[in-house]
Structures are given as structure tokens and as C-alpha cells.
Amino acid sequence: MENETINSPGYDIPDDIKNNIAVTTIDRLYNWGRRSSVWPLMFGLACCAIEMIAAQTARYDMSRFGMEVMRPTPRQADMLLVSGTVTKKMLPSIVRLYNQMPEPKYVVAMGACASSGGPFKEGYNVVAGIDKFLPVDVYIPGCPPTPQALIAGLIKLQEKIDKQSIRTAPWYSKMKDPNYVPMPILGPDLIDVRRNAEIRDAAATKESA
């Protein structure tokens, strides 16, 4: 949405009734209401969380964009802001929180660690990007990103919401939960159960060799 109005582009409304009539679509009205009422889940993982907290202060005033109501429970949140380093021990809890969030829900990877592992990418205990397990909607670069970068990323999320349609939205499909992510298993290493067949084939190949 290029402006804060709900009028659909391409419809000329006479000047004398512009303040009384709006010509729009269900999608535009629906997205207009959602784009400025996104509630992030209140949690942080590492130093990026400090920048996330700073973005909530009066200096930056993230409430201008309707994204300042951070909820302490996933049942009331619809945006998972992954701010910081994701360790393999922490990942199962993050996936559990994501699965407990109601649809529609979004994931924002804040900082280099959440996006790709950052300076710990080759570490034995760090996940090389939360997108290995969760569907990320917006990536915010930086180590750590500034509050301005976080706000810019949230504006990008708003732009993505503006382009969504009720007809194609995955949360209205007939599938029970199209975005459900099975819980990874933390054993000798982190195991993505969605890759069980691949892991089984690789182990069989190695054993036969």
C-alpha cells in the first residue's frame, strides 16, 4: 500500500465526497487493518535484542507503525522476531513457540546470526540461519542491526502484507496447519525430522560402501 488510505488505485472519487466515500476491495481493507496491528513475540536471544529494545523507546517510537505491542505469549502474537544467535539447544523451543502462534504469522530474522549464523556460522552449537527450519519473511542485515534497520525491515513486512490476498493465503487453505514445523530432535546433533529419508539414505550408502 503506497499510502495510509484504503481507497483502491484506479478509481477516481470526486473531490467533494472523498472524505465520505471509499472505494476498495476486501483484500485491501483486510490488509490495511492487519499491517498496522502486528504484535511481535516478546523474547530476545543475544545482542540484537538490545537493539530491538532500543527501537521501542521514545527516540524511535516504533508504535508509529503499530508494531509496539509485544506479547509475552505466542497465543497472542503473530510475528516472531528472531533477534540474536540461534543455538541448537535453543532451536526446539523457538520452533515450539512458532507452532503455538495463530495464523496469520510471520517470521523476521534480525541480524547476521539469525539470518546465516553470523560470526559463529562454523560453530558446533550454532544454527546457520533460522531459515533452515522456519519460513522467514524478512531478513534484516547487520551485526547487530540498528533500530532504524529494524524499523526498515518491519516496513518491508508491511509491504508484504499489503500484497497478500485472502484467496491465496496459506492460512485459509484446507490443510489443517500448512505452516506447521515438526519439532527438531536434539541428540548428538540437531536433527530435522523432515530430512529423515535423506539421512536414512545417506547412512545406508555409507554403510554399503
CB distance 114 to 47 below 8 Å: no
User: Using CA atoms, how far apart are residues 109 and 124, in angstroms rounded to an integer?
Assistant: 21
Name the pTM for this structure.
0.82
Strands 138-140 and 190-191: unpaired
pLDDT at residue 197 is higher than 80: yes
Decide if pLDDT at 177 tops 50. yes
Whole-angstrom distance, CA of residue 11 vs CA of residue 115: 41
The CATH class of the 36-182 domain is alpha beta
State how far the alpha carbon of 57 is from the alpha carbons of 52, 65, 119, in Å.
Answer: 9, 13, 28
The whole-number average pLDDT for the span 127-146 is: 92
Using CA atoms, how far residue 106 sits from 63, 78, 207, in Å, is 18, 6, 41
Domain coordinates of the chain in residue numbers? 36-182
Contacts of 80 (CB under 8 A, 6+ apart): 40, 41, 74, 94, 97, 98, 101, 105, 106, 107, 108, 134
Interval 40-87: pLDDT, tens: 998 889 999 999 999 988 888 888 888 888 888 999 999 999 999 999
- The whole-angstrom distance between residue 185's C-alpha and the CA centroid of its chain comes to 22
Given a cut of 80, is residue 127 above it in pLDDT? yes
| Other C-beta atoms lying within 10 Å of the C-beta of residue 100 | 13
